[in-house]
Amino acid sequence: MSLRPYAAPILVALALALPACSDSSGTNTEDLVKAAAQGDAAAMRELEKRTMEAVEKGGDQLLTMQQQSVKKLQELAQEGTEVAADAALELSRRAGQGTKEFKKWLEQAAEGGALEGKFLLGKYRLHGIAGYAKDAEAGRTMLEEAAAAGHAEAAFTLGIAYKYGLEVPEDSAKATSYLQQALDNGFSAAADEL
CATH number of the domain encompassing residue 141: 1.25.40.10
The confidence band for 20, taking pLDDT boundaries of 50, 70 and 90, is very low
Could you report how far apart the first and last alpha carbons of the chain are, in Å?
34
pLDDT digits (tens, 9 = 90+) for 38-84: 667 787 777 777 766 666 665 555 555 556 666 666 666 676 655 67
Q: Which residue has the higher pLDDT, 133 or 78?
A: 133
- 88 with 142, same domain: the answer is no
- 118 with 99, same domain: the answer is no
Please state the domain count of the chain.
2
The residue type found at 58 is G
Helix (H, G, I), strand (E, B), or coil: what is residue 22? strand
- Give residue 38's domain range: 1-112
* Domain finish residue from 91, 112, 133: 112
- 100 with 5, same domain: the answer is yes
* Residues ≥6 apart with Cβ < 8 Å to 145: 118, 122
pTM exceeds 0.85 for this model? no
